[in-house]
Structure 1
Amino acid sequence: MPVKKPFFVSFFIADNTNQKCHSKSAADVRFLGSASSVLVTAGLSLSDENISLWDTLMPQSKALIHSWTAHPEGATSVIYLSSCQTIVSGGRHGELCVWDVRQRRLRSTVKCFENSSVKCLACDPFQQIIVAGSNDGDIKVWNTDLVPNLVASLDGEHVARGGFSLRQVASVVQGVQQLYVDPEVRLFSCGADCSLKIRSLHAVT
């Protein structure tokens, strides 16, 4: 069987080298603001420290700032809300975790999807809503309260349809692939159904 390689990320700001971040795999990375040297990674580690903060200006041996133990079987996505210095991460069991960056503690956990993993996350430019896409093609919109509340649900938005084929079985494309919210609070989403959909979210903001 092929051996899975650990995940590495290049810290080009400090040095053109690679930094080992998670022992099994990684799914997402975000800087904590456009001018920050600190980034957060989401992945899967043997120790279950699946959300980690890194300072790209520090030497490799000191680059790891903090790690959180969360998301059994791995974290799949992460975003940063600069307005409240909060990290929101999604996991393979459909949960969203809200992290306080300053106090480095878990604020809250909510169940986003019952039978699917969180595939991707996005927030609007005003950081009033969080949009989550699932492996099953569903999209849910949450507010950014300390304990997020569900404000809209778009079920089956990007579900692959059609007959059975071996090519579909072998495909790694599942559910919602990418989300983006523009300054006009329009949601752009794409996924396994091969479509790009645009929706206004003004009604829920």
Structure 2
Amino acid sequence: MVSLICTIRDHRDDINGCAFSPNLLATCSSDKTIRVYFTQDFSELAFSPLNGHGYGVHCCCFSPCGKYLASCSTDATTVVWRMDTGDLVTVFEHPGRSPVRVCVFSPDSSLVSGASDGTLALWDMQSKTLRRTAASNEASIVACSFTPCGQMIATGSTYGDIRVWDLELNPLQAEKNAHDLGVTCCQFAPKIQSDGCWLHFRLASCGQDSTLKIWMLFRQAATGCKMQLLHTLVGQSAPVLSCAFSADAQLLVSGSVDKTVTVYDANRGALLYTLNQHERYVTACSFSTTAPCLIATGSMDKTVNIWRVEDGVSGHGDEGKSLLGESSKATCEDKKLPGHSRLLVCDWSEEDVSAWLSAEGLEVLVGSFKANNIDGGELISLTKDTLASEMNIDSVGLRNKVMRKIEELKMSLVCTGIPDEFLCPITREVMKDPVIAADGFSYEREAIESWINSKNRSSPMTNLPLQTTVVTPNRTLKMAIGRWKSSQ
């Protein structure tokens, strides 16, 4: 039996990744933030959200010890964070400044990142340096996983191939056209099998061909490695975007464009459950590493669902059962922006700021903010130094709380319900000066010009070369945004 126990609604944009440590859950989003929760009650840590990326965050992963969290982004960086304090440990800038699509720790805590230009980078955590790089092809590397022994790496690309590498990033095996139209995710099972001569590793992969596949990778030191397809699972009707093995390697979960989450018996390739709760594409999924067995699923509906697996694979009598995902007793409360009279924070009046402070439990500061005439524009410009020196807020904890709340506002300067076409695909903020680039998409002028200057003329949306760097004002869109603002 699988039951929905919690829905988290803290992110302001698409969920792109989620990951468990023994006692934490991390989620990342196109809203540029990473959020961290205790798995005991799914309350958010004091230092969450983590704000360090300039663009959307594609992936997040914990180190094996759980002390560190890595996140990667369109901004071409992989950032490592401490999980006891939330402090930034280091920033790895990907060679070539290409958007980083995936990152993963090895069992010995090395770190690998894969980028949109088809390159793979292996980083040394102790020295915080780049150890080596490799290039597969011109397709984006969007999936990556270490074998449980940490001696091999599997990668998947938008070309549809799966490649296996050793720790020197020498190619060992290439499975061409593993998924038609592209691989979206891959993960090794956390168990090693052996028959005395060969080591056996199970690998799950999914792709744009709407299938989830289970492979067996055979490795022998003398003869290299080979791959064999064990199961092709077709329990979902649209591209499958994510997959993950349970900690005991008995279950396999996947999320799809058809808005469903499927749970399989990983040994038999049999469908056990289909979970119907998300309202848009399911983009991320992960199993907890300790009991009780939990599944986290993230979606473009901006929510993360937490599911409890009650009986492992024992319930074969319910094979293929569809669950509507009715919430159980323990549910997480929404953390919404407070009610205020204007959508745009920069347009808030002093009264709106006071209402926001009260809604966030900061009533004690209302008088001080009013005395200093803090409106929305002033609010998002505040710093810790200003709070301490000019507003005389002596409490360090209070200053930190205010700044965390302000950072959340900066990440989402508008409430929910904004038409997607009004948001710049790069900044995910309402555009002020929209322009059309050579790829046919509209962007904020400053954002796309900065992108072109640093990304070697690739499209942020397609990763294909831009035929020209000339941009054209999108006056129709600018007028539409203006009318929408006036109507709010």
Q: Which TM-score band applies after superposition, normalised by the shorter structure?
A: 0.7 to 0.9
User: Residues 8 and 18 of structure 1 are in contact (CA less than 8 Å); yes or no, is this contact kept in structure 2?
Assistant: yes
Structure number with bigger Rg: 2
The whole-number CA distance in structure 1 between the counterparts of 2:78 and 2:69 is 11
1:57 aligns with 2:84: yes
The whole-number CA distance in structure 2 between the counterparts of 1:42 and 1:77 is 7
Q: TM-score, normalised by structure 2?
A: 0.35
Question: Aligned residue for 2:135?
Answer: 111
The whole-number CA distance in structure 2 between the counterparts of 1:143 and 1:98 is 11
> 1:181: Cα distance to partner?
1.6
> 1:82: Cα distance to partner?
2.8
The whole-number CA distance in structure 2 between the counterparts of 1:87 and 1:37 is 14
1:90 aligns with 2:111: no
List runs of 5+ in structure 2 lacking aligned partners: 1-29, 39-44, 194-200, 220-224, 227-488
List runs of 5+ in structure 1 lacking aligned partners: 161-174
The whole-number CA distance in structure 2 between the counterparts of 1:122 and 1:10 is 22
Question: Aligned residue for 1:22?
Answer: 53
The whole-number CA distance in structure 2 between the counterparts of 1:24 and 1:134 is 21
User: Higher helix share goes to which structure?
Assistant: 2
The whole-number CA distance in structure 2 between the counterparts of 1:99 and 1:142 is 15
> 1:12: Cα distance to partner?
2.7
The whole-number CA distance in structure 2 between the counterparts of 1:178 and 1:6 is 21
Q: Out of 173, 178, 200, which is 1:152 matched to? A: 173
Give the SS at the match of 1:11.
strand
Aligned pairs, number: 176
1:180 aligns with 2:180: no
1:195 counterpart letter in structure 2: T
Q: TM-score, normalised by structure 1?
A: 0.79
2:49 counterpart letter in structure 1: N
The whole-number CA distance in structure 2 between the counterparts of 1:188 and 1:70 is 27
User: Higher strand share goes to which structure?
Assistant: 1
1:76 aligns with 2:101: yes
2:101 counterpart letter in structure 1: T
Tell me the alpha carbon deviations over residues 91-128 of structure 1, each in whole angstroms, 9 at most, x when there is no partner: 0100000100000000001112x120101101111112
1:10 aligns with 2:26: no
User: Residues 66 and 83 of structure 2 are in contact (CA less than 8 Å); yes or no, is this contact kept in structure 1?
Assistant: no
Percent identical residues: 23
> 1:16: Cα distance to partner?
6.7
2:94 counterpart letter in structure 1: A
The whole-number CA distance in structure 2 between the counterparts of 1:132 and 1:98 is 13
Give the SS at the match of 2:127.
coil
Question: Aligned residue for 2:217?
Answer: 201
> 1:11: Cα distance to partner?
2.7
> Cα RMSD (Å) of the superposition?
1.8
The whole-number CA distance in structure 2 between the counterparts of 1:73 and 1:96 is 11
